[in-house]
A and B are shown apart, each in its own frame.
Chain A
């Protein structure tokens, strides 16, 4: 396809080289946006999966009598184990609760002496809201003072933030697409002006508008794909750097998520998408410009 003869004097084509550079930068930006989007998708999935269909029951300290939490916890566990929607229910050992608090309160014997709430981890067979509500209701009946947390409030806020990032990434993609289109339009118009005599000759010897537009479109396709490939080449070291920085962050905060195959396919498609977009834009621009003649 690219060995094909061109009737345009491409060696003189300064506007074309400009397109090549700009496509490189735009595809680089697009690839970063795609990566942000994919990574957020992976994180959300990860969080969602670990949280969906689970409940945490908390029995506050101040509401417990002389005998401590044990009777209330036992009552709740009894109810839960008989409930059809519950897959698993177990009290969180005191030692683990202390471990959970350590990052916040530090290594200290004080924690051991603190009155701590009792926690029960519950896994449901389903994450349907009706089941969650039914289980919550039966816990409340058994122990009105218990607090049931289905993690939704926390997750929804995190998801809101993540979706904000996704919207930004999408906006970047839209802007990049628009910038690429406009670049090709203006570069093509510049080339049309530069090659006006060549185009006149092509017309006189019988070329149709579609043929001339095809010449520009083929060149734009090539520039889009080459520029896109260069953009990806620029992206590779940038991703490696970010991945290395991310690997130094505690995996509890940033899950060490592998990007899915769809992400790499999207990236690989970027140069082709850029080429295709440039090709169509150039074709339409030339045809519109030529149809205004004679």
Chain B
């Protein structure tokens, strides 16, 4: 776990801030109408709501794949509504994204997929080898490091995707249905992984439909409905230590 600890990157205020954000695609209706929201540092939120409520859109704003049609968006204390493209790329290196459909690169081995963010950031190859091997161990995939995604099971791909999302030691982790393709045991293991990362100082947002899973963790919920967001208390008040599955 030592590899996930790193010096604080020195921003003050919230990890993510949305102020009256609206988002529409082309001339379609607004997916998000008036979202104001603050994600503090070292927080953990579930993102819930019915299908089509805009969970994926909200996340894509946060990982800077889209810019809001109106309103203000800050990330790590920086206004990103008008930031240059190059600056957005730099900010993306401080966050990790886990996609519902993994988006692994099929022509690369599991190892190279996980190593990608480090190599793009220009990290030296010795560090890449050490950190990626350690991380693959941590997610239990060391023997699959040379396997290509097509040969991996859904759960294994999911873990590769998570490893890729966290290898850069991000300050913000965004996960879209990260447990959607795995059985309950693996789902709990993956959740435990996110909880660990949260304890190490990252802000975590997990979009999910899995209510029983949400109910097992004492984290607040961002509830999206009809393009607007409300913050709901945790489904359970139990401390996470009692529900956590041992790694």
Contacts and interface: CB of A to CB of B under 8 A. Distances in A.
Interface of A: 5, 7, 9, 11-12, 197-198, 200-211, 290-291, 293-294
28 contacts: A7-B108, A7-B116, A9-B106, A11-B107, A197-B103, A198-B105, A200-B65, A201-B105, A201-B116, A203-B65, A203-B92, A204-B63, A204-B92, A205-B92, A205-B117, A205-B168, A206-B89, A206-B90, A206-B117, A206-B120, A206-B121, A206-B168, A207-B89, A207-B120, A291-B85, A294-B64, A294-B66, A294-B85
B86 interface: yes
B88 A294 contact: yes
10 A-B pairs with the lowest CB-CB distances in the bound complex, closest first: A206-B93, A9-B107, A205-B117, A208-B89, A206-B92, A207-B120, A201-B103, A205-B116, A206-B120, A204-B97
B66 A202 contact: no
Nearest to B67: A294
Contacts of B164: 205
A100 B107 CA distance: 76
B226 interface: no
A291 B84 CA distance: 10
B105 A7 contact: yes
- Residue among A198, A202, A204 having the largest count of chain B Cβ atoms under 10 Å: A204
A7 B116 CA distance: 8
B178 to A, nearest CB: 15
B119 interface: yes
Contacts of A210: 86
B92 A209 contact: no
A12 B86 contact: no
Contacts of A208: 85-86, 89-90
A202 B120 contact: yes
Contacts of A206: 89-90, 92-93, 117, 120-121, 168
A209 B120 CA distance: 11
Contacts of A294: 64-67, 85, 88
Nearest to B167: A205
B120 to A, nearest CB: 5
A94 B88 CA distance: 90
Nearest to A10: B107
Contacts of A12: 107
A204 B120 contact: no
Contacts of B107: 9, 11-12
Contacts of A11: 107
- Residue among B90, B103, B112 having the largest count of chain A Cβ atoms under 10 Å: B103
Contacts of B105: 7, 9, 198, 201
- Residue among B92, B105, B108 having the largest count of chain A Cβ atoms under 10 Å: B105
B89 A203 contact: yes
B103 A209 contact: no
Nearest to A204: B97
Interface string B120-134: 110000000000000
B63 A209 contact: no
Given A205-B164, A206-B89, A294-B85, 14 more contacts: A9-B105, A11-B107, A203-B92, A204-B92, A205-B168, A206-B117, A206-B120, A206-B121, A208-B85, A209-B86, A209-B89, A211-B120, A291-B85, A293-B85
A198 B105 CA distance: 7
Contacts of A5: 112, 119
B67 to A, nearest CB: 6
A16 to B, nearest CB: 14
Contacts of A201: 103, 105, 116
A201 B160 CA distance: 14
- Residue among A11, A207, A293 having the largest count of chain B Cβ atoms under 10 Å: A207
Contacts of B92: 203-206
Contacts of A9: 105-107
- Residue among A198, A210, A293 having the largest count of chain B Cβ atoms under 10 Å: A198
Nearest to B107: A9
B173 to A, nearest CB: 13
A290 B86 CA distance: 11
Contacts of B108: 7
Contacts of A7: 105, 108, 116, 120
Given A209-B86, A294-B85, A204 B106 contact: no
Contacts of B121: 206
